[in-house]
Amino acid sequence: MITDKDIKSIAASGEGYNAEFKVRLPNKVKEVTEEICAFANASGGTVLIGVEDDNVIQGATIDNAKRSAIQNSIREIKPTLNCDVYAVDVDGKEVWVIEVPSGTQKPYALSGAIYVRNGPNSQKVMEIEEMRDFFQQADRIYFDETPCPAFDIATGIHTENLNEFKAEANLSSAVPNEQIFRNLKLQDQNEAFKNGAVLFFGNAPEQYIDTALIRCVAFDGKDKRYIVDDKKFTGPLYVQYKEAIQWLKNKLDVRYDIEGTTGPREEVWEIPQTVFKEVIVNALAHRDYYDRGATITIELFDDRVEIANPGGLVSAVSSKDFGKRSHSRNPLVFGLFARMRMVEQIGSGIGRIKDLMKENNLQAPQFSFDGMFTVTLTRPFDFEKWINKWKEQLTDTRITILRAIHNNPKMTKTVIADLANIGSTALDNNMEYLKDLGLLNREGTKGGRWILNYINPEVGESGG
């Protein structure tokens, strides 16, 4: 049985993969039984009746008739599932607890329907593809739910990372670690840490899961011929995330906007940092850890960033539903990220990535699901970097002409001549020279536009 201290800890950390709150017993008891069924199909969980969604303990009254209704409803779950239902006094307020074990005879169904836990939400499995994927997972067990008996909890925990998790999840630093592990269902019935817990809190998870790392590679150019940096980041998943973000920050263009003379300094990335947060956390939470032949990779090119993780779309999510629905391969890991508020509404991440790229006038992200799940983010074109490659072959006047056209492809020749401080004849001669180099073309006549060909002088390829 859990104690009043456990309830306070669970309530403080909020609803999640292993916790569901009800301020009172719903009129339709089946609403609670659906959550119980979902917990049984996952790693188990706790339903607290008498706790608000905003984590406030209010207390609730459940008489014998209502308690019998709960137990009768639980009996409708097939195969038979045994749950403990009892009340706990928390500072004079009665909170009812339903402890749900991780079922040993998955899948469990209620009224012929299967319910599954996805982060802090329960979902009804309705599509054939979803059911097929669930049965496959039930046969092999979620990777992050599998125990890792070789892991030594006493010596293997990354203390700093665990403390940071507590802070981000609004857990008091005074709460004993053992209580947190118990409440979050991080251990199996033999008290062995699960793979997901090792990934999230282990000091060196790569010792037990050798592909548990992020490899970051920077290339000179647009292909993979010349590597200029190659780093591997290990440790707990949140540490991997932070180090990968810092690596990107050091490689990408980041400027600083300051409000007034003493206002706060805001970092402005060439591609919004939030986009990278969404993609990298998605990769860490959803990668196929059963695939031991590949790792998560972040590849930086002159014109793009590609982030890939093993495993395409799960069968429960079709290509037409991509970006609208979510189904995690690692629900325990996903739930821990959710507690840190690293992920938001289920299935909203892809839409947020698309919106952020559009809001910042960047090309739409590209997604590929063939074996690896790959997100390609196109970098904004760096004109100054490109023109610097031509500096030795172009006069200042010709560079001024190119810069003017880059800023406004519909600029008239009269305005360009004024900016370059030359006459019309000299402008025509300079433009012919740029055309001969292959840097400049014209599309249309009156009302047309200038077209710059962003090629590099060394190799004659498109610049970036």
pLDDT reading at 140 higher than 90: no
**Angstrom distance (rounded) from CA 145 to CA 186:** 8
Largest interatomic CA distance in the chain: 98
Q: Among 55, 40, 146, which residue's Cα sits nearest to residue 98?
A: 40
The amino acid present at 321, given as its one-letter code, is: D
pLDDT tens sequence across 188-212: 888 999 999 999 999 999 999 998 9
Q: Which of 4-13, 87-96, 149-158, 197-206 has the lowest mean pLDDT?
A: 4-13
Report, in this order, helix, strand and coil percent for the chain, each rounded to 5: 35, 25, 40
pLDDT tens sequence across 229-273: 999 999 999 999 999 999 999 999 888 877 666 666 788 999 999
Backbone φ and ψ of 226, nearest 5°? -125, 110
Backbone φ and ψ of 364, nearest 5°? -65, 140
Q: Among 76, 109, 100, 127, which residue's Cα sits nearest to residue 18?
A: 100
pLDDT reading at 294 higher than 90: no
Strand order in the sheet with 19-22: 19-22, 45-49, 93-100, 84-90
User: Cα-Cα-Cα-Cα dihedral of 123, 129, 135, 138, to 10°?
Assistant: -60
Per-residue pLDDT, averaged over 144-171, amounts to 93
CB atoms within 10 A of CB 330: 24
* Strand ranges, E, within 180-319: 214-219, 227-233, 254-258, 265-269, 296-300, 304-310
**Angstrom distance (rounded) from CA 118 to CA 232:** 30
432 Cβ neighbours under 8 A, 6+ residues apart = none
Does the global pTM surpass 0.75?
no
**Angstrom distance (rounded) from CA 304 to CA 300:** 6
Residue 93 vs residues 49, 70, 84, 90, 298: alpha-carbon distances, Å: 11, 20, 19, 5, 51
